[in-house]
Structure 1
């Protein structure tokens, strides 16, 4: 029999009750004791939290495997660029706060356009079609020189102003993106616990049974695509204004893979999981490129020598050569650039084997996996 769940003590229960206010307060204090380089990294981490929360609606709540999420990100970014960049053929010089809802609506419309033809598809077929849709959008941006300026991109995208102050420093951008992430997190949490969220979960578990129970699967699947796309468009508008320059190279398939990896490794359907996944997959590769990290790794030359001795021993008894670890001062850059995809793959394999529900899964998903593990074996089963 499975062990009964332990009830946390009164002190821990009070701490858990205030975990989100405490976490937000901690996040708000980070710029006061970090340098601009670290704050810039946190801006990207928080931006990917926003994107992860959007894809979490599609994949984690509704169970729709979407590999073309970058299309919605690009829709929001190019809405911002086309309407504000001086090099755009349709520059309208609109205010950021007018373009923000417009970019969200256009991205939601793109989500509906994607959702309509893929309604009958599930699983791998849905993933392949959405992947192709994302590539179509990228190729469209490259080939429409008259509209998007192709590979040259759109530059001089203005930054927003709030209360007479321009959001022009990394600290101000961090707080701006942090507020956006908090609002998106609150909205998705409310959706998850609403009737719409229960319908999404029913579709995720078994679409046929959900339809038999009276759930309008067409309506709720389209709603999931539109909601996730709208959040992706929000992230795109913010990204374009923060960077100030966009071109199709910034909207490759890798963006979709990064966001999907954040959701899977963190825990599908879990807001804390998205936060942890973004910190691990977006934050760590950037931290490895910092000078402080290189200085720390440079002091571990003894470890490099020990590992190279082990590798040399393996080379002596196997055909071919594995190679040698680089100088300690270059470990960070090589880990962040050359072996990033290997790290992604290794993390995914480890998570699927050791933590199939993710690092911080939602309570409901955790109970589902616990129930499957504790289910009794049918009589007569081998």
Structure 2
């Protein structure tokens, strides 16, 4: 008797083996995730793709595969070799590590892939627009620390948007998160000597924030470590002055460094809201983490994209007149001051709408209800 029955409406097929049922069910979903590298045909089963190649391209050995397929397939092979060669738990961590203190394990091998340029371009094309943490001109013109490159390349690999490469990117990301967890655990109860928000400490914080930002896209697969790491990273930001524009300005004359710190503060706030939305909508039995409030964001609105992505000289002279985000949430704030919200919306639509929801929060509205009201704007952010 055939034990595995298809549950699709009006379908009566059944199979002796579960894998045969799974293969049949892909006919219903019609996802077509297997792509021919000689033409534009797609199939929902690997065996159908192989049959197509035999029937349609048996004499096509001299054809050149399409570039995007070549990148995806070679990435899959290269990353797969990395993962086979090294166990994923050998990273050497250390907060504020020097550039010589390079982690070992798969994240190190990711730095050796011949596709760094392509992965970097994917990062800036698909991720940077929503999370403009890095300054492109500085990134491209200077040698970046290994931790930053690992974070950028892992995000770039994730954005290839193929099941195999995403699975491999997830393994790299998990390795980075383990290292991040160790680093942040070491500072959660104290920071030792005060570390002001200077240029030399910026790369580690950027790598942490970029890696945590990827958890927004991976969803509940990264819980609970992403929630805990987010809270500890918020504590670290607070202790090092990342939320304090006066300290940032006092320590840095370079407007690019100042802005990168401002962007880190706002990115972490947006990450917190994203993670809480995932928690509220998928794991309602847990209480969301309310570790960062808008009134704590004592930083200015960053420069608009045309300046940030343009000539670096345009940033000098800066945006010193811009108001602090926190000023809109003071008890003395007037409704007329809310016009400053338009500056945030012009810079980051999603963040602007999130802050708008906080501004219109009624005294009796719970944080969970507030997050539910914010969620549609986050969905727009993720799907665009």
Using the size of structure 1 for normalisation, the TM-score is 0.24
Task: Tell me the TM-score normalized by structure 2.
Answer: 0.24
Considering Cα pairs closer than 8 Å and 6+ residues apart, tell me whether 1 or 2 has the greater RCO.
1
